[in-house]
């Protein structure tokens, strides 16, 4: 199941969102059972599915809505870099996905992130 999510921000503008691997992750702070940790090898924030109780606290805390409960496995899931070799990068037919650092501040609400992205696109087109 894809860990990239697409949200409609307003008519005609859908934006793909993925975890920003925050420096100070709100999902980690919110988890009552310490099921979310930074992977030492990949540095991705990752969920330990064996510990997760699917309480949903992390999904509420994440400013990007990038972590969610799997509909059948009943555990929280999020982008974990696929162990360091992301499947989305390999499978996107438009080659629209790259693996690189984001210039955005993931602590901002999604609406502000969308505005910042629109400004960046307009600037690039000048
Ligand atoms: S974007 Fe959300 S899921 Fe990703 S590390 Fe930050 S708070 Fe956690
Ligand atoms: S859903 Fe799982 S990972 Fe998220 S806060 Fe609850 S126990 Fe932690």
pLDDT of 9-47, one tens digit each? 888 999 888 998 888 899 999 999 999 999 888 889 999
User: Which residue is closest in CA terms to ligand 2's atom 5?
Assistant: 31
pLDDT of 74-114, one tens digit each? 999 999 989 888 999 999 999 988 886 666 665 667 788 77
- Given a contact cutoff of 8 angstroms between Cβ atoms, the answer to whether 59 and 76 are in contact is yes
Spans of all domains in the chain: 5-125
Looking at the structure, give the CATH architecture of the domain made up of residues 5-125.
2-Layer Sandwich (3.30)
Protein residues whose CB sits closer than 6 Å to any atom of ligand 1: 19-22, 25-27, 45, 62, 64, 66-67, 78, 106
Phi, psi of 82 (to 5 degrees): 50, 40
Whole-prediction pTM: 0.78
**Looking at residue 81, what DSSP letter applies?**
G
- Ligand nearest the Cα of residue 59 is 2
- What pLDDT is stored for residue 60 in this prediction? 97
């Amino acid at each position: 199941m894809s860990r990239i999510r697409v949200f409609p921000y307003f008519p005609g503008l859908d934006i793909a969102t993925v975890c920003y691997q925050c420096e100070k992750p709100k999902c980690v702070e919110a988890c009552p059972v310490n099921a979310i940790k930074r992977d030492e090898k990949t540095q991705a924030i990752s969920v330990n599915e064996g510990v997760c109780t699917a309480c949903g606290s992390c999904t509420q805390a994440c400013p990007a809505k990038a972590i969610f409960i799997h509909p059948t496995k009943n555990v929280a899931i999020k982008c974990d870099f696929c162990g360091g070799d992301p499947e989305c990068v390999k499978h996107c037919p438009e080659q629209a996905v790259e693996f690189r650092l984001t210039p955005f501040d993931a602590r901002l609400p999604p609406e502000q992130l969308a505005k910042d992205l629109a400004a960046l696109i307009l600037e690039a087109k000048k």
